Structure 1
Amino acid sequence: MIFRQLFDSTSSTYTYLLADEEALEALLIDPVFAQVQRDLALIDELGLRLRLVIDTHAHADHVTAAWVLRRETGCDIASARAIDASNVTLPLDDGQICGVEGVQLRCIATPGHTDGCMSFVTADESRVFTGDTLLIRGCGRSDFQQGSASRLYASITERLFSLPDSCRVYPAHDYQGRNVSSIGEEKHFNARVGAGANETDFVEYMNAMKLPHPKLIDEAVPANLRSGAPEDGELPNRPDWGDIRLTYSGVPEIDEEWLELHLDSVTVLDVRLPDEVRDCPLAQTLVDVHIPLAELRDRLNDVPTGKPVVALCRSGRRSSLAVSILRDAGYEQVASLSRGLRAMLQDG
């Protein structure tokens, strides 16, 4: 079996590609809207045909790529029937078998993080894709989307922990750089439900967490209940001059790795305040033009037109607005540095 674990650093989401080496039919689990071009490029390079996209649940931290992948490839969209998401072509029930030629998955209803969570285990029970139900040394929260700590405890201990100890666990997220665990490991070492924790231990732990409201829930959940389809049913055209990722709101972004390799072929526009520029020597080596965001509309003539423009700021928020201003003014080849200079400095 062809197997790839892909990662979206913005949402810390894992996307999984599975395909049969002979049939060359592929499925994706938990694809991310912003990574559509990456996923399609990999599928093309491996000579595969995408037949199925599966969402483990209605995510609250990113928008699924299911709808746009169906539009691009004609693949089916699958998720739990309990979610009742629109645009789904294959609603799934507990115990159902789904997949593509050569790759079969058994659906396991594992509610608790949300009401519609589902895990997927391979036919030989060597791998299980647990969504947010079971994470590496943790689990998903249970305080929104009909979540229930008691149901989550039952889903983990009665459904997932009944799989062989050797079964490898592949979650939808990890925030510490870990990429795989096993059922046996989580039984012994999971910080919330392992080492013999009973339901009272678990429920009291979960209820005491008091986590902040997910930042993107108001945008992501309604979109994911449409399988990722925008409200108007249309996507903006994707630019092709660089390794562009479109946010769900249509802002083209580019990452720091691409920028560092292509500095000579773009104009770098810094839209921070003058004091910020002086305090950041790194930016001075990257930037071609400095125009504070508040002045940009009045100084558009100061932005060169001969090369694509990459706008940057501290976090990527101001530069996204700069991109919108430039596009409204007729600049077609323009993008925002996705995580800003702060991420570049953190990454060294």
Structure 2
Amino acid sequence: MPTLTAYFGTSVSSFLIRNGQDIEFVKFPYVYSKGLFSNQCSESQFYRYLIETILRERNISLGSCDVSVCGFFEPPDFAFGPNVSCSVVDTISSSDKFYPVFIADSSLITKDIISSYSDFTDRKSKDDIEPNFFSNLAIFPQVVPSDLSDQANLDENISGKVPNGLTISSDTPVVFTGDRFAQNVTDKGLNYILMMELIKSAGIYNLYLDGNNKVSLINLLDREFDTLSYTSRVGTFINTTGSVECLLSTGVGDDQFFEVKKDHIYVMPLNSESEVKLSVKSTDLGSREVKVLGGTLGLIFDTREHKGSIYTDVKLFNDLLKQVDRVLVNK
């Protein structure tokens, strides 16, 4: 029997369809907005029609399909009775092979915390236009800022509301997921800056990007799936205080020694197919040797002694965005 799992979020809707051995992911860049559609249909009617349309395009009827849904924070009420209906919080907290960091609109969810704010007056505003922008965003949640600085401001508001002392585990791979990373933002480099901004603790992190809420969709389907294979590997993030000495060994005799000075964020491209041995030495990491894989970015080093916001340091932000964009262009 065909299976569909669905996630209904703050700005996008995501679907997984399994038919036999085939698995397909679908992203619909819109969600129900009461201000726009309440005089035409209810939330449950809107999403039921969307599900039926997606299935019909694949010659599948709703009655012949197992359906499981989750939503932010709760899923819509469906009269047809999905097999599973739960909060996105449940799908995030049930991940045990990696550490998910879910970001949607003004909320951040991990296995340990839920942080959210909703009053636009609490958001950082840099000019008189922004309050209108945030008000429009409440009515048109699918809107993605066309201006890079507007998107950076939104991301800064998210990072500014992260609770003090939030620790993201480096023991397992870290997967960034949620509506924010499913949006088609103006500059993809902003996705990676937001990841770096949220990790404050010293450590060596293996980073992954989920661009279509696949973590939630797969956890609804089968928690034994290899979720990481459906995400994009970003690379390895070395977060330390002060300078770090590194030895990169490929095993073919072309070892590379280098040092990243303090108070820098440095991106070193490393092919996603490459597996190398990295030896690092710094004050707070000590001497460590790890095997690392390449990725979309490769190796990222943050040696700042004071981990302030990347967004408030204009020179640092612009330099980092240029580094990231330069790597992405060559992919």
Q: Shared fold by TM > 0.5?
A: no
Which structure has the greater CA radius of gyration?
1
TM-score by length of 2: 0.34
Larger fraction in strand: 2
TM-score by length of 1: 0.33
